[in-house]
Amino acid sequence: MAESSLSVSYNELRRYAGMLLGYDRTYGNWSATQITEVDDIINAGLRRFYRASDWTFLRQTTTLAISVAGDYDYDLPDNFGAMDGNFTYPAASGPGYPAIVPRNEQQIREHRQVSTVTGPPVEFAIRPLVSTGATGQRFEVIFWPTPNASYTLSYRYTVLCSTLSASFPYPLGGQQHAETIKEFVLAEAEQTLDENMGLHAQAAARELQASLRIDAISITPGSLGYMGDPSNGSYASERGLSSETATYNGTLWS
């Protein structure tokens, strides 16, 4: 899949920040200190942008394999930030497998204290793993009841982003948020120069409003469906349908 030619890249952000700081236009001529300073500015700008909203593009769906019956705690991905919804079973699991709903971590421990029942999990809790600071904070999920078999669960979570590099040059958000990301980085560079927020901070605030509108549109359906009272069948009759039928992709369903 080809990247949009209007997406902002790591090298572009370096060039923009370097120019504002008065560095050589060719970043290959920068000193090690200048490179470190610009990278720090880019990282700070990206962190501010990513935490400015609950961005939809930071939510990703993946799977968790419960591979061993009897194990109820599982490490989550290194880039796990927060859950977004419930764990779900595959469609083929049938109606006997509802979504696995969140609970307080203490509630799960109390369940396990009073019962050793096993079966398809129906509840989960997220808890932080013990950390010495040698790595960033990591999380795990615990289930109840204790799984009695192997399952592949689907879930969505908010990701923690990584720094940009030559190998991974594009910030999350893509072309639609490129100007906002650029201005957040330049606002950081601007503050580095005089320790005050100036023109680029104002521009970042304006671009952020545009990004918020775009992000809201990206998750808003074109229609929420019929919102009236269908009990009298008038909505269906107005469209030449019986009150017990509907059409989807040209197919009549009853």
Single pTM value for the model: 0.80
**37 or 226, greater pLDDT:** 37
How deeply is 57 buried, as exposed, middle or buried, from its count of CB atoms within 10 A (0-12, 13-18, 19+)?
middle
3-state helix, strand, coil split of the chain in percent (to 5) is: 40, 20, 40
Note the pLDDT tens digit of each residue in 189-232.
999 888 777 899 999 999 999 999 999 998 766 555 555 555 55
Note the pLDDT tens digit of each residue in 115-139.
889 999 999 999 999 999 998 999 9
DSSP 8-state secondary structure symbol assigned to residue 147 = P
How deeply is 81 buried, as exposed, middle or buried, from its count of CB atoms within 10 A (0-12, 13-18, 19+)?
middle
Q: At a CB cut-off of 8 Å and minimum separation 6, what does 82 contact?
A: 126, 157, 158
Note the pLDDT tens digit of each residue in 81-101.
999 999 999 877 655 688 899
- DSSP notation for 153-220: EEEEEEEPP----SSS---TT-GGGHHHHHHHHHHHHHHHHHSS--HHHHHHHHHHHHHHHHHHHHT-
Tokens of 13: 């952000």
